[in-house]
A and B are shown apart, each in its own frame.
Chain A
Amino acid sequence: MVSSFHGLELGKRALTASQAQITTTSHNIANANTKGYSRQQVLVDPSHALSIYTNGKTSQLGTGVLINSIIRVRDQYLDQQYRNQTSGYGEWSIKQETLSQLESVINEPSETGLSQAINEFWDAWENLANHPDSMPARAVITERVQALIDMVKSMDQSMDTITNTLKNKQTNKLDEANHLIDQIAELNKSIKIAGNNANDLLDQRDVLVEELSKLVNVKVEEKNGMYNIKLEDDTSLINGLTVENHLNLNSAMTSGELVGLSKSIETVNDYQTKLTNMVKDLIFGEMTLKIPNSETVITVNGINGLSQLGWSLVEDENGNSLNGAPIFKADPDQFSLKSLEINPDIKNNLGLIAASLRSEQVNGQTKVIIGNGELAQLIASLRLGDANNNNNIGSSFQTLVSQLGEQSNTAMNQLKYQEASLIATENRRQSITGVSLDEEMANLIKYQHAYNAAAKIVTVTDEILDTLINRVAP
């Protein structure tokens, strides 16, 4: 036979369960916009039934409800997928950003870019070839040379700035990653202490692991409720409660923002080297040239070498014409754009720019033949490269630009693809994990009704007991 107070106990259990459900619903609503929060559910089971004797056989009499557990609704598989994709996304977003910065440094196509400066440089030589005795034509050359130098120097400088920013970012992100590793290990501990279903702590830990994954791709294994985190090459970062390794620049990282940063630094460096070599080739690179009106083929070291072959308009103290001066001032062995300058001598004395390949002996003195513009013409012909079609700065720069464009384009497409797949995963995850306010509101009303009904059970039981005690007894 059932106890008279059975109904009261049952009502109390129902009230408790409804209350827990209402509280959890409120918790969900309160955290609807919390990052990484997964909605929680109260799982309830019917409580252990009583066996009662009914007409020759036993039956089960319900005893109400018991709370089984409060869980978070989450799909581990999607978490893993999200972590992998966020690494790729992080890497490509850094790469893409860097390449797009490089594109603005290169500043092409434009009317004011390096390509134009190079064209105008050649035009100036062509002009000198037309007027080999002209000082204004020489002044134009110094202007064009200066413009060319200014342009490549400013590009070089901008690339330095990009590299420095990337390196700073790298240091910061590395600190951030190591800090995250410490925090995750801390959370492992807290979760162990809190025991099963420490839902909010679990959410927090997942958020941190995702942040870490964005920086560097890691392998996450769950063991006894704890996350063991390893790098791709199985270097253990976190094992249970202990942090076994921190990250440094030499850690085996294959994806993530940190990889994006180190690869971007390489890319910038690569373009900087290309730019430097391009200019170095122009100034010092080996060139094979055919002397006009003859079959003579000569090999010189760049424009600087070539410009010294001819005769300038300046004479030494003995009245002999001097050879032309080099156009650029730079060190061929330790060439750097930072120290590149226009030769100050030609700036101070325009006549030192040679245009002529001919000289003659007059009264025992060497004198330039000033109407000869063959050297200037020879230099101007380098516009199309040397006799072997090598050393063409214009086309080298075009190659550089199109290569950069190609790379940047690929990065943009990659980024779009990574973003799209990340969003798809995030949507699927949100679909499972996210709080739907409509759903919570509906639940709230459902649980409110359940609570009201449970309260009614208590009232009814109370009335039954009243009847039993006050009416049945004398």
Chain B
Amino acid sequence: MRITQQMIQQNSLRHMQQNLNRMDSIYNQLASSKKLLKPSDDPSGVSKALQLKSTIKANEQYKKNTNEANLYLDESDQTISGMVKVMQRVRDLALQASNGSNEEKDLKAIASEVKELSEQIRSFANTKVNGIYLFNGHKTNQAPYPESDSYLVDSFDTGAKNYTIAEGIVIKANVTADELFGYSTDESNLFATLNKFVESLQSSGDIPLDEIDSSIDRLLTVQSEIGARKNRVDAISNRVEDINIELQSMLSKIEDIDYAEALTKYKSEESIYQASLQATARVIQLSLMNFLK
């Protein structure tokens, strides 16, 4: 092939340009530490990366939701423990009242303590956390038992406070007054039972020991349910966390550079570019003119 100076000049220029281009693209990868800078770098990789990022972002939100749910569950759990303690005291009093060796004033004292304890339970039922009534379903701005006789009608709400704690997994984080104390029509409604207890003390009637026991049982059942739910939330949130770590590493594999590999590549591109510069500098100087007198 016949070669002309113009060809050499143009081809060297083009090759230098190509080498510089390759060097630049690896340099950009190194500087940004990302392999994927624009969709055309790896169309399917970019799509995969976007999808992973969305999932990771969603999981982070699910984690926040889980924390919120846990807060609800923990607060409920503690409050219910308080209620159980109070009810155990009520039970003690009931046993004391039913052993038959009580004087009138003792029974009176018991009656007034039970009234006090009933109010205590009501105030537990009206617990507010962060300005929200814990046991009143969706009516979070209203107390479930605003008055001491509120239990006579079902003034509370039974809406479920749901949290999405993982993709497609919704968990109910609250317990409502009906679960804790029973409906107004229930024989063993906790407040009705306490009332009955007070009345029986005043009228020397039968102490409603069975109802008190079943009220305590109801509270304990709810508490163990909460415990079970908490376990479930923990298990799911651990899984979400594990999945997220896995997704992060997948994402990193797709979009992050391997520094060792990229640096080696960069070094080699640099040498190639330098070599092309040197070669060009020499070849474009050559001419017959240099040797003609």
Give the interface of A toward B (CB within 8 A): 32-33, 99-100, 103-104, 106, 108-109, 115-116, 118-120, 122-123, 126-127, 129-130, 133, 292-293, 356, 358, 369-374, 377, 380-381, 383-384, 394-395, 397-399, 401-406, 408-409, 412, 423, 426-428, 430-432, 434-438, 441-442, 445
Contact = CB atoms under 8 A, between A and B. Distances in A.
A430 B159 contact: no
Contacts, number: 170
Contacts of B203: none
B49 interface: yes
A399 B47 contact: yes
Given A370-B141, A371-B132, A431-B7, A115 B50 contact: yes
Contacts of B22: none
Contact of B163 (A108, A130, A383): A130
Contacts of B50: 108-109, 115, 397-398, 401
Nearest to A37: B6
Interface of B: 1-7, 10-11, 14, 34, 36-44, 46-47, 49-51, 53-54, 57-58, 61, 64-65, 68, 132, 136-141, 157, 159-164, 167-168, 170, 255, 287-289, 292
Given A122-B61, A398-B47, A438-B287, A371 B6 contact: no
Contacts of B168: 384
B287 A369 contact: no
B138 A437 contact: no
Given A108-B50, A434-B6, A436-B4, A371 B36 contact: no
24 contacts: A32-B5, A103-B40, A109-B34, A109-B46, A109-B53, A115-B50, A115-B54, A122-B58, A126-B164, A127-B64, A370-B139, A371-B137, A371-B138, A371-B159, A384-B167, A397-B50, A402-B47, A404-B40, A404-B43, A431-B7, A435-B5, A436-B5, A437-B4, A441-B287
A399 to B, nearest CB: 7
A134 to B, nearest CB: 10
A292 B40 CA distance: 41
A442 B292 CA distance: 9
Tell me what chain A mostly uses at the interface: helix, strand, loop, or mixed: helix
A370 B138 contact: yes
Nearest to B255: A109
Contacts of A384: 167-168
A130 B68 CA distance: 7
B52 to A, nearest CB: 10
Contacts of B46: 108-109, 401-402, 405
A441 B290 CA distance: 11
Contact of A405 (B1, B40, B139, B163): B40
A408 B58 CA distance: 30
A103 B65 contact: no
A427 B289 contact: no
B58 to A, nearest CB: 6
Contacts of A358: 138, 159
Contact of A374 (B34, B40, B162): B162
Given A103-B39, A377-B164, A369 B157 contact: yes
A377 B34 CA distance: 35
